[in-house]
Every structure is written in structure tokens, then in C-alpha cells.
Structure 1
Amino acid sequence: MEITSNTHGHSHHHTHGNWPIVLYFIGLMLAILAFFTSPSIISAILYITASLLAGYHVILIEGISETIEHSKIAQRFTPNSHLLMGLAAIGSAIMGNYGESALLVLIFAGAHLLEDYVEGRSKRDINALLAMNPTTARLLLDDESTEVVDVHTLNVGDHLLVLNGDSIPIDGIIIAGTTTVNESSINGESLPKDKTVGDAVFASTINVTDSFKMKVTKLHKDTVFSKITQLVQQNQANQAPITTKIQHIEPLYVNAVLIMIALFMVFMPLLFNWSWSESVQRGLTLLVAASPCALAATSISASLSATSNLARHGVLSRGSAYLAKFADIEAIAFDKTGTLTSGQPQVVHSFFNNDYPHEFLFNVIVAMERQSNHPLAKAIVNFFDPTEIFDLEVENQIGKGLTSYFNDDLYQIGKPDSFNLVDPTIHAYQQQWSQEGQTVVFVAVNHHVVGLIGLRDEPSPHAKNAIHYFNQQQVHTTLLTGDAQLTGDAIGKQLGIEEIIAHVMPDDKSKLIQKHQQHYGYTAMVGDGVNDAIALVSADVGIAMGEGTDVAVEVSDLVLMKNDLNRLIHTHQLAKKMKRIIQQNIGFAMFIVALLVTGTLLDKTNITSSILIHEGSTLVVILNGLRLLND
């Protein structure tokens, strides 16, 4: 299934393939050939053919055809600038100025095709998201055998078997067994959760350790993960095309020009005794003068340059419209895990009393943790540097931790609530570290706790710079996380984030983004996981970390190819400069139009000079935009 969202500035988005570009370059070659051909019927035919080929898509399809289509919808004449340029080109050809007509078409069509290439179509494909949703389940039959069935056929109350490593096929509760489940696809939390009888499990989450039996509590269409896909599709379908001020006034401007030209041609002979031929000639000159050639390229060079600049810095953009919005954001929300943090827990603190030799104890800890596939185990193994490798038999007790016997001593590594008697010093450290958002594990020998280890998913090196920058820019910063409040507060306060909201589920993130939009204005969302997809689509600008899930990348407007938030600072600075340059270009282009119209009314210009001045102004606009390449 593919969902597309048209976000280009115009409303004429159809699938035409590459043939408009092919026809344009054929037309360009014919125009060049005509230029080097002596004025004759052959050069005239070449120019006319070049105009028809190069301008077929932009002028006939997007000018005449879509003017008719939009006029029917609006039930009033609704032309666009393409029609204006087409009439100017046709008029020039009728007056015998075939070269000028072809030049006009080539400039306008070239600029427009370049714009289509640069901004493209915003195709928000959620195939990757749907692929993550399990399609089959192991249904437990009355004789305890299993049958693989489609998840859509499951009913509430059915019993399922979920094996180690499987994706949980549907929402339900565990009825037999204990395990550890990675729920990052639902809540974004980096650490797996221990699950036992009576605990809820969710579709698309991963069963990390042991097999278990579960009872279905929701139909497939009602699962948390299905709600995520439904909301993403709904938000995508509701995305309106980006409309700029120019596009709002475009039909009014074109209508005004057409009325002005018609009145000019009719009344000039009556008021000033002009011949009809002279009146038509000057009217066509005025039509060319009023045609917004440079205006058509005001955003092209700037957006192309900005896009190229960002690509060099590892940032991909779906279009200048999103960059322009990003320049105006009033609030920005960040997911925690994998966005502000590395997504991998690290040992932050450790403390051991002197009851046992530390070096020997560290060797035992590493030997035990090496046999566990829990993310905390990997962090502990990476932290401690063993002097000797022990070969131990280790038992993993779900909900309690690891146990092993060595030299007739019992060693345990587990949750604090698995131990009864704890030294006051160790208990004090546990309380302090827990309040700082750390996950604490105890180490015990013969049931006596001799030390503890504090782990946390630490902020990325560049996160603090990014938060500080947006705070300075008076952009409201918010942390949205599915983690516990203590964990969110610890990370948020460390980074200086203004607002911290914890225990947030995926659909809650979307609602919070909408509240921010109502309260602050344009709001951006930065995330990396499936659980961020709804919020990324709901935000005015969705920003994905490139090392995150495919889903987050697919539905985002900007993608940081490496998880470096310093690049987000560069993107915001460049977006603001791009917006300023586009505004400069628009002002300059309108000045040129006013200048040429005035010159035409004073009989100081003709069609050729108007085209040359338009071409020159277009070049100035392009060069102004190219300044963004080196920023």
C-alpha cells in the first residue's frame, strides 16, 4: 500500500514520467539549431516546433488544460501564470517574433521543470511501517498443538504461542511463561521490559528471551500498532498542498493582466489614434513585460542551492516549502531515545564495598553478563575491563536477574527489589541514582549485596548544543518520551529543555504536537522510531534521525543522515537565510515587472528588450540564490 501526499507549491501534480524533460531538451536543441539558421521559413518552423515541444507540458498541460480544470472546479475563470506566459509566447509568434517566442518558452519551461526536479513529489510511503506489523500468529489448538494463521482471523480470547525472537502478533496478556520484551516500536523506551503472567503485550514488539503463551485481548484492527498506521495514513491524507502568497494571488494577478491587456488593445487606437496593428504589438509587449519570468525562478536557485548545501552536510530535504516553515518554527519537540540520546544504555556510576577484591569481582561480573543478551549486559561488559576470563554456568531468572556459582560462592546480578537486606550506603546510592533517572542493578555474593551499578541512556554529544541554540532563538523546546518521569527529567534538565513530558504513547505525541501548534504556531518534531511516526506527520516539519527506523525517515520532511543534532542547527540557520533570499528575489522580480510595464507604456521597450531584461533579471535571481551553496 502506498500513500502519497502532494506538497509542491502548485496543484498540478500528475505522474508524467520523464517525457516532459526529454521534449524540453529536444526543443532546446531545435531552438539552438534555428538560431544558427538564416532567417527563413525553416528557422521559423524550427522555432515554432521548439516552442511546442519545450512548452507542451508547462504551457498546454499546466497552463491551458489546468486553467480549464480549475475554472470548472471554482466555477469561475481561474488562470495561472502558465497561461499568461503561453499567451505571450503565442502572441509573439503571431507577430512573427518566433525567436523571442521560443526564448520565452524555454526560460519559463526550464525554470519550472527545474523546480519540479528540485522539490519533487512528497511521497510518504508507509510500506516499511506496514511490513513491521506481523501477518501471522501461532494459534494454540485444544490438543496444545499450533497452527499458523493470519492475524486478521484472530478473535478475542484466542490463545497463542510466541517463540523466542518472534514479533508479538497481536495485543494480549501473558497466560503462561515469563520473558523480556522490546517495546521500543510502541513506546520508544530503549530498555526491554520483563513480562510475566498477567502482563500486557503489544503487537509488533519483540519477544527477546523465552517463549510464552498469551490470550488475545484485541482484534487486529484495534491494536496499538494498527492505530499508529491508521493515524499516519489519516494524517498523510489530510496534508494540504503548501500554498505560498504568490500562489494565492496568482489567479488575481493573471486575470488583472489579461483584462489590462485587452482594454489596452481596444482603447489605445480610440484614445491615441494608434493603428490596430500597433495596438496589438504594444499589447503583446506589455503582456511579455507583465509576465513574471524572474518570479518563476525566485525560489528555484535558492531551494536548489539550499538542498545541495544540506546534502553536503548530511541533511536531506523533501522541498523548500518545509525549509521555509522550519525557518519560522516557534516550537520544537524531541523524542528522547535515539534522538537526544544514543539509544544504548551506558554505565554511569558503580560502587563496590571492600568485602571482596574488586578485580576478582569484576571478572565474575563480566563472565556472567557475557552470557546474557540484555542491553544492560552489553553495557556492563563494555564498562568493566577483566583481567581474567572465567567460564561460568549462568542461570537467567526472569524478573530477578543472573545467578552463578563459582568456587562454592553464589553470585547474583539483578534488580534491587530482588534483595532484602541492603547496606545503608548502597541503599543511599540506589535512591540517588534512581532519582537521576538511572537503571540500578545490584551485585551480591551469597545473598549479601556488595555493590551496585547505575546505567542510563546518556545524551548524545551534540544534543546540548542544539537545545541551547533553539532556546536562544526563542523556540520553545519540549522533550516527549515514553520513559518514566524521573528518566525524562534527568535527561531534560541536563540538556536545558524547557518542557519535559514523560509516559507518552505514540498517539499522545501527535495530540501534544497539535496542542503546541495551537499554542505556539509552527511546530517541528524530531524523532527516530516507529512510535514517532504519527507526531512526525502531524508536525509542520517532521525531522528524522537517519540512523533511526525506515518508517520515521519515510514520513519525515527533513532527514539528518547521521545522528548529529549540530546539523539541525545548520539547517535552521540555512532555512532562515533561504527565506530571506527568496523574499529578496520576489521583491526584485516584481520591481522588474513594474519597470518593464512602465517602460512599455512609455514606448521605451519592445518584445525583444523585455525578454532580454526578463532573462537578465532571472539570472540575477538565480545568482542571488546560488549564494546559499557556500554557506
Structure 2
Amino acid sequence: MAQHTHAQEHDHSQSEHTHEHNHGNLPVVLFFLGLATFILSYFVSATLWQNILGTLTIFLSGYHIIIEGVEDTINQTKEFKKFTPNVHILMTLAAIGAAIIGDFREGALLILIFAGAHFLEEYAEGKSKREITNLMNMNPTEARLIQPDGSTKIVEVSSLVVGDKLQVLNGDQIPTDGKIIAGFTSIDESSINGESIPAEKTVGDDVYGSTINGNGAITIEVTKDSSETVFAKILELVNQSQSNLSKKATKIKKLEPKYVTAVMIIVALYIVAMPLIFGATWYDSFYKGMVFLTVASPCALAASDVPATLSGISNLAKRGVLFKGGSYLSNLEGIKAIAFDKTGTLTEGKPKVTDVVFIESHQEKAQNYSNIIAAMEKQANHPLADAILNHLTVTEEINLDIDNQIGKGLVSNYQNKDYRIGKPSQFTQVPEELAQLNHKLAEDGKTVVFFSEDDYVIGLIAMMDLPNDNAKKVIAYLHEQGIHTTMITGDAEKTGQAVAKQLGMDEVVGNVLPENKSAIVEELEKKYGSTAMVGDGVNDAPALVKADIGIAMGEGTDIAIDVADVVLMKNDLTKLSYAHKVSKRLDKVVMQNIAFSMFIVALLVILNIVGKMNLPLGILAHEGSTLIVLFNGLRLLKPIKD
């Protein structure tokens, strides 16, 4: 079974070990000094000075290449207790080797181009990371704390505690997560959910740290510690996404030391064998060996995956989809089944009235009955009351005394008539037309309540948690991709089937207890293969962990967001299909890069063996292929059109 845990995902193997080198600006300064000495070597005629300037170029421009090559090889060899060279050591040996046979300027050219390409690669990877980590600059640091006497004081956000009252002026950044207790405004929440249109907010609405207040002044009450805010969780996801490598990147990193060792052995054998067996000169043999070292270096292969993956993660982060690591984005395109929680994920999460029907003989009083129902529901506290009140049009305000009687429902008296609202099972005098309609509506998965006058049912109201607007499009897209879709719900299977039918889903599992959701995901993994789970509640957390890829709705519970691998910051399921498209493009780009880089290496090696390759041409072709791979990966920064 393809079960995973987060500890497993983030416990990188030794082969994923990397060393951070922070030499400041020194390598860049030395690189340009080396470039100057290289150019100067063409303005001197004495061979000795040409060679001295070439040597200076090798050690100045190649400073960080040589240091990293030697240091990392030594450190990793000690750590892994076996010889573990890297690409930098190949370039260092090739440049020094060229100098040994008197080709100082060719060695210098090799180091110059390799170092320049290395800087460009770091810049390209940095661009992808900056697209993500520019979120860091948006982290609020100060807040206007309201004092007991009503004055305000500027304080550090980290010092705030739950319950503090804060003043937020127009144009201010919201300091932390809270609830509006005074005022009305519009807020730019694009940093949280990727939505560019400001959201209207008033008393009672939640606000999020890092978002930007519009043209109204508001007072908010802090509801979360600064380390627990939605934005803090986003930053945590960002940090994780940059350290978690995809499977392809991991395989490449595992392959690199073995590949480099093989190249070094082959070059050594080639240099010795050519003069002894084939009668070549030692100079030609050594020169071709240095060319082989250069062209066989897996620089392009090493750049095939990580820049492309970071670009894809960046693309999605700007659109409100956060991946906790490259492996999840890389693996998303390979899912074979996807399970959805129903309520709040596929549906809007709250019931809406779909039908209000009164019997034929009482149609002329329909508006009066609507006023009575609204007056009764206004004083009720059951979850369906809001749905009914939001739907009914009231033309006359009526004040009623109501009694919520167990086993009967809401009971009231108006103009000497008794009125009651309750479950169908609580009524005995039901006209045939409403009894049949109730049966049909129940078959459609709707919740029905009856309305009676003097114990005779004269009307009904049907409600349903309706599918959200985007769910049907996403399910259709998943079917196009050959992905099996399953709805998991705690509701009656009949209710689930009604929603699933509207959405066109493949399978429904109803009456599911929260603790059984993960078992269903496990069954899907056994039956179909790699499986994703989409949910938003505490009861979805075990299934999100069990799935190969757990996807949380960003407006869901904190625990669901914490354990998931992917977060859709706005409850917009179309972001899921967009992420799948990015994952498919990422897989295509990475495979293009790997195939192209290996083809170029093979071509250059063959040309070198047959004598059609020299060191300068090999350098240009090799480093050029690395840059092509790099920029091909950066194409993933561009948005994908639907």
C-alpha cells in the first residue's frame, strides 16, 4: 500500500544531503576579476604572461567552484564513508588538467563558462524561490493596541494575546487573525486566498493577518496567537515546499556521485589506454580525457528537475494553492483515484431551501403562511432556521410566542389557530399530494419539514446542502483524466447519491463514521493505486494523512490544513484541476529536460571519441545545454490557460 506519513516525507535520505555555501559577494567579485584577467590575456603576446593570466582566471573565477567541489567531496565522503564526488570536482579537474598540458586559456574558458552558468542557475532557482518567499516580506510586525483608556499604542505583533483589541486604519495591514467588533470595510485578501477582488467585511466577520484594509477604519479582537495565524501557516508551508524534493530530483541526486565516479574512472582508463593500446600521443589522450570530463558532466541533468518544480510551486502559490513540497506536486499527475468529503468540499456546507409548497386549497394564503413561518423560525435555534429565513420573503412582521416541544417541533398560536413546524414523522394528518411530494423530495436527498394549521399539514419546506458551483466542472475534468472519483459522507447514502448524481461522480460511500474514512482511502489505494483525499474538517484529518496526497480546503479547520500536503487557500475546487494541469506540465518538462540533457552528453562524448570535438566547443555545447534545460523549467512560472 502506498501509505505515507509526513515524517517519512520530510526525513530526507543521505543522498539528498546538501551543503549550504554562503561566501557572500566574494565569488561574484572574484568571477569578474577572473574575467578581466582572461580578457587581458588576449592583449599580451608573451606566452608566459598568457599562461599566468589564464591560471589567475582559473583560480579567481573558479574560486567557489573549486572550494565547493573539494569541500563537498571531502565532507560527503566522510559522512557516507565512501567516495562521493560532485559535478564541481569534474570541472575543477578538467580545468587543471587543461593547464597541465599547457592549454591554460582553454582551462580558463571552461571555468569561466561553468561558473557563469552556475551563477545563472542559482539566479533562476532563486527567482522561483523569491516568487514564493516574497510572502515573507508581507508578514505583519506591528499593531495598534487599544489601551484601557481608549488610546492606542504601537506594539509588536508577537506580543499580542487572544482577546486584545486592535485599531486598524484605512490602508493598514491587518496585524493578525481576528474578528471585527466595530466598523465596516473592504479587505484585499489576495495574500491569503489569491482572490484579487476585495472582500466586504463588517461586525462579526473574520479577518486575517497580512491582508490589507481598504477605505474603512475597523476595530478587531485578536482570536489567534501570532504563531497560529493562517499567514503563519502559509509561511510554514513555504519553508517546507523548498526543502522537499520530488522523486525525480531525489533519484538524480542519488545518481550524481555514482555518475561522476564512473566518469572519473573512464577518463583515467581512457588516458592510460589510448597511448598503450592504440598508439595515441599522451597529449592527445590527455586532451581528449579533459574534453570527456567536461562534456560528460551531468550539469544539465542536475538542473532538470528542481528549477522546474520550484517554478511550478511558485505558479500555484500565486494562485492560492500551496504545496508542502515538490514531491507532492510531482506526484499529483499520477493519481488514479480521488476521494472527496461531501459537506463543505463538494457542497456549500450549509443547507438552502429548494422547495416551498402549500396545498392547492390554501395557495391564496401562501404569503400569510410565509410570514407566520418566518416569525416562528426567527425565534428557533435549530440549524435549518437560517436557511428558511434567508429564503422566505416577509411582507408583514408578526410577533409570536413559540414553544419548542420535544417530539412535536415548533408550536405557536396566531389568530386562534395552532401552527406547527416539524419533521414529517411528527404529523398524522397529511394530504396525499404532500405525502407523495415528501417521498420524492426525500429520494432526491432533501431534508423536509412540514407546516400544519390546527394539526393538518398544509405545506412543506425542502432543504438541501447544494453542490458548490465549481465541483461539477472539476469532477468532469477528473473523469477526462481517467481518475476515479468517490464521495465519502457521514450522511445517509441516499442524500450522498443525490449530490453525486448532480456532480456525475463514480462512487458514493454513505453513513461513514469519521474514524472509518481513512479505511476507505486505504481500500481505494489497493483497488486503484495512488489516491488523493480532499477534505476540510477535523474528521477528515486521518484520511488526509492516509492518502498519498492529502488536500485541504483553506477555509476548513486548522488540523486539516496542518496534516494535508496541499492547501487550496480559497474553497475553490477549480484550483485542484489547475494544480493537476501544472503537475502534468511539470512531468512533461522534466522528462524533456532529462532526455535532452542525456542526448547532448551522449552526442558530445561520441564526437569527442571520433575526434570531432575540442575543449572550447565542448564547453559551449555543454553549458549551453544546461541553460536550455534551466530556462525550459522556468516556463512553468507562466500561468496555464484553461
User: TM-score scaled by structure 2?
Assistant: 0.69
Whether 1:342 and 2:363 are equivalent positions in the alignment is: no
Closer/same/farther in 2, CA of residues 335 and 114 from structure 1, 3 Å limit: farther
1:409, distance to aligned residue in structure 2 (A): 3.7
Gaps of at least 5 residues in structure 2 are 1-5, 42-48, 133-239
Closer/same/farther in 2, CA of residues 448 and 13 from structure 1, 3 Å limit: farther
Distance 1:411 1:55 in 2: 89
Closer/same/farther in 2, CA of residues 505 and 103 from structure 1, 3 Å limit: farther
Which secondary structure does the structure 1 equivalent of 2:572 belong to?
Answer: coil
1:6 aligns with 10
Which secondary structure does the structure 2 equivalent of 1:36 belong to?
Answer: helix
2:544 aligns with 536
Contact 1:438–1:454 under 8 Å retained in 2: yes
Contact 2:451–2:457 under 8 Å retained in 1: yes
Contact 2:334–2:530 under 8 Å retained in 1: yes
Letter aligned with residue 243 of structure 1: K
Over residues 143-170 of structure 1, what are the superposed CA-to-partner deviations in whole Å (9 max), with x where a residue is unaligned?
xxxxxxxxxxxxxxxxxxxxxxxxxxxx
Whether 1:447 and 2:447 are equivalent positions in the alignment is: no
Whether 1:316 and 2:315 are equivalent positions in the alignment is: no
Contact 2:58–2:95 under 8 Å retained in 1: no
1:69 aligns with 79
Whether 1:365 and 2:373 are equivalent positions in the alignment is: yes
**Which runs of structure 2 are paired with 1:391-540 in the superposition (5 Å)?**
391-397=399-405, 401-540=409-548
Contact 1:403–1:411 under 8 Å retained in 2: yes
Over residues 498-549 of structure 1, what are the superposed CA-to-partner deviations in whole Å (9 max), with x where a residue is unaligned?
1111122344222222222222122222222222222223222222222222
Which secondary structure does the structure 1 equivalent of 2:508 belong to?
Answer: strand
Contact 2:324–2:566 under 8 Å retained in 1: yes
1:257 aligns with 263
1:103, distance to aligned residue in structure 2 (A): 4.0
CA RMSD after TM alignment: 3.5
1:381, distance to aligned residue in structure 2 (A): 0.9
Whether 1:92 and 2:101 are equivalent positions in the alignment is: no
Letter aligned with residue 23 of structure 1: H
Contact 2:90–2:260 under 8 Å retained in 1: no
Contact 1:25–1:54 under 8 Å retained in 2: no
Whether 1:299 and 2:305 are equivalent positions in the alignment is: yes
Which secondary structure does the structure 2 equivalent of 1:23 belong to?
Answer: coil
Closer/same/farther in 2, CA of residues 43 and 271 from structure 1, 3 Å limit: closer
Closer/same/farther in 2, CA of residues 365 and 251 from structure 1, 3 Å limit: same
2:560 aligns with 552
Distance 1:109 1:4 in 2: 33
**Which runs of structure 2 are paired with 1:279-294 in the superposition (5 Å)?**
279-294=285-300
1:458, distance to aligned residue in structure 2 (A): 0.6
**Which runs of structure 2 are paired with 1:223-234 in the superposition (5 Å)?**
none
**Which runs of structure 2 are paired with 1:96-245 in the superposition (5 Å)?**
97-98=107-108, 100-101=110-111, 103-105=113-115, 107-108=117-118, 111=121, 242-244=246-248
Which secondary structure does the structure 1 equivalent of 2:289 belong to?
Answer: helix
Letter aligned with residue 439 of structure 1: T
1:478, distance to aligned residue in structure 2 (A): 1.1
Which secondary structure does the structure 1 equivalent of 2:384 belong to?
Answer: helix
2:59 aligns with 48
Contact 2:412–2:420 under 8 Å retained in 1: yes
1:456, distance to aligned residue in structure 2 (A): 1.0
Over residues 55-76 of structure 1, what are the superposed CA-to-partner deviations in whole Å (9 max), with x where a residue is unaligned?
766x467654334433x4xxx6
Over residues 313-332 of structure 1, what are the superposed CA-to-partner deviations in whole Å (9 max), with x where a residue is unaligned?
44333444323322222212
Q: What is the total number of aligned residue pairs between the two structures? A: 501
Gaps of at least 5 residues in structure 1 are 123-235
Closer/same/farther in 2, CA of residues 261 and 43 from structure 1, 3 Å limit: closer
Closer/same/farther in 2, CA of residues 505 and 92 from structure 1, 3 Å limit: farther
Closer/same/farther in 2, CA of residues 375 and 56 from structure 1, 3 Å limit: farther
1:576, distance to aligned residue in structure 2 (A): 2.0
1:494, distance to aligned residue in structure 2 (A): 1.9
Closer/same/farther in 2, CA of residues 532 and 381 from structure 1, 3 Å limit: same
Closer/same/farther in 2, CA of residues 552 and 611 from structure 1, 3 Å limit: farther
1:106, distance to aligned residue in structure 2 (A): 5.3
Distance 1:471 1:613 in 2: 44
Contact 1:51–1:106 under 8 Å retained in 2: no
Distance 2:14 2:547 in 1: 21
Over residues 464-489 of structure 1, what are the superposed CA-to-partner deviations in whole Å (9 max), with x where a residue is unaligned?
12212222322211111122111111
Closer/same/farther in 2, CA of residues 415 and 468 from structure 1, 3 Å limit: same
Closer/same/farther in 2, CA of residues 429 and 488 from structure 1, 3 Å limit: same
2:136 aligns with none
Equivalent of residue 393 in structure 2, options 385, 388, 393: 385
Distance 2:435 2:407 in 1: 20
1:274, distance to aligned residue in structure 2 (A): 5.2
Distance 2:576 2:446 in 1: 28
Over residues 157-204 of structure 1, what are the superposed CA-to-partner deviations in whole Å (9 max), with x where a residue is unaligned?
xxxxxxxxxxxxxxxxxxxxxxxxxxxxxxxxxxxxxxxxxxxxxxxx
Contact 1:9–1:241 under 8 Å retained in 2: no
Over residues 103-124 of structure 1, what are the superposed CA-to-partner deviations in whole Å (9 max), with x where a residue is unaligned?
425534764786588589x9xx
Closer/same/farther in 2, CA of residues 485 and 116 from structure 1, 3 Å limit: farther
Contact 1:85–1:105 under 8 Å retained in 2: no
Letter aligned with residue 85 of structure 1: H
Equivalent of residue 601 in structure 1, options 599, 609, 614: 609
Contact 1:89–1:105 under 8 Å retained in 2: no
Over residues 26-52 of structure 1, what are the superposed CA-to-partner deviations in whole Å (9 max), with x where a residue is unaligned?
423431343134458799668636644
Over residues 332-370 of structure 1, what are the superposed CA-to-partner deviations in whole Å (9 max), with x where a residue is unaligned?
221111111111111122222244822122112222323
Contact 1:463–1:495 under 8 Å retained in 2: yes
Distance 1:422 1:56 in 2: 88
1:552, distance to aligned residue in structure 2 (A): 2.6
Over residues 437-485 of structure 1, what are the superposed CA-to-partner deviations in whole Å (9 max), with x where a residue is unaligned?
1122222334333222111111111211221222232221111112211
Contact 1:478–1:500 under 8 Å retained in 2: yes
Equivalent of residue 269 in structure 1, options 260, 269, 275: 275
Which secondary structure does the structure 2 equivalent of 1:385 belong to?
Answer: coil
Closer/same/farther in 2, CA of residues 7 and 392 from structure 1, 3 Å limit: farther
